[in-house]
Amino acid sequence: MSAATPARTVLVTGAAKRLGREIALALAKDGWQVAVHYRDSVEDATKTVADCVKLTGASAAFRANLTNEAAVRNLLPKVIQHFGRVDAVVNSASTFEHDTVANFTFAAMEKHLRSNTGAAIILAQALHAHIFGREESTSVQSRTAAGVVVNLLDQKLWNQNPDFFSYTLSKAALEAASTMLAMALSPQLRVVGVAPGLTLTSHLLSEKKFEALHRLSPLGRSSTAADVAATVKFAIDNQSITGTTLLVDGGQHLMKFERDFSLL
């Protein structure tokens, strides 16, 4: 009699709220054990964990400052210690602070690169080592047991404007890193980018303004949180996708925007 297939575990960064939470819930609904990463949103993380538990029966919260290299390097081992294994990482957490060429500083660039780019690379590195070690300990290697990293990007990389300068640089670096990681970490790991358009409103936009901007696309609507979560799930499940980015934006990347959505 064959052994039961172990439950799959995914680490979702920034899963306490907003898009990360929606991704965590969608994966929990699909049967994944979800490691909910957060930085400061303790109450939100606790709620996300509770909601994931209702869906899949297993979830836990893990705190880490993604600008701190030591904290990032300790994150995946903590998740592995708790769940026994990790099969996927979704890098959803993101620093998003406004700057321009006029007020650009090394400090702003470094802050964005650390959390948005460096953390994702380290987590991919750690997942690869974990998967490789897992394969080495078994007599038969299985392609279906390979891990996957999904990096959340931004449609603005294909439709650039000069706003949020350091943020955009960090996401451009992550897009390039995703290609190189897919090459360097195969066959144990697949690496896929998912680039949403305007998906959720923020304090920078009124509800009315958000709804108007959300409709600015060839399809008459940009991405919803459910669209993005479904695409992340697709990227995780499809064993043939790696080294590419799926744009989920209603075609907004095909239109020219002179400013960031929040400043239009």
The pLDDT tens digits of the residues spanning 148-164 come to 999 999 999 999 999 99
**How many residues are there in the chain?**
264
In a domain, 260, yes or no: no
Long-range contacts of 52-58 (CB under 8 A, 24+ apart): 52/24, 52/25, 52/28, 55/25, 55/28, 55/29, 56/28, 56/29, 56/31, 56/32, 58/7, 58/33, 58/34, 58/83
Phi-psi region of 114 (alpha: psi -120 to 50; beta: other; left: phi over 0): alpha
Instruction: Assess whether pLDDT exceeds 70 at residue 133.
Output: yes
Domain assignment present for 3: no
Task: Count the alpha carbons within 13 Å of 120 in the hemisphere toward its beta carbon.
Answer: 34
DSSP states along 112-149: HIIIIIIHHHHHHHHHHHHHHHHHHTSSS--GGG-EEE
Long-range pairs for 68-72 at CB < 8 Å and ≥24 separation?
A: 69/114, 69/118, 69/122, 72/118, 72/119, 72/122, 72/123
Sign of CA dihedral 35, 244, 200, 236: negative
Q: Which domain holds residue 64?
A: 9-253
Q: Looking at residue 7, what DSSP letter applies?
A: P
- Tell me, what's the pLDDT at 4? 63
CA-based end-to-end distance of the chain:
62
Predicted confidence band at 6 (pLDDT cuts at 50, 70, 90)? confident
* Greatest mean pLDDT range, 127-136, 200-209, 222-231: 222-231
d(CA 205, CA 216): 15
- Does a structural domain hold residue 215? yes
The CATH number of residue 36's host domain is 3.40.50.720
Is 154 domain-assigned? yes
Q: What is the pLDDT of residues 76-98, one digit of tens each?
A: 999 999 999 999 999 999 999 99
Check: CB of residue 209 under 8 Å from CB of residue 172. Answer: no
The pLDDT mean for the chain works out to 94
Q: Does 4 reside within a domain?
A: no
Residue 249 lies in a domain: yes
Q: Is residue 261 part of a domain?
A: no
- pLDDT, mean of residues 37-45: 97
Q: What is the pLDDT of residue 1?
A: 36
Query: If you average pLDDT over residues 122-134, what whole number do you get?
Result: 96
Longest dimension (CA), the chain: 66
How many domains does the chain contain in total? 1
192 assigned to some structural domain: yes
Q: Among residues 241, 243, 111, 237, which one has the least CA distance to residue 166?
A: 111
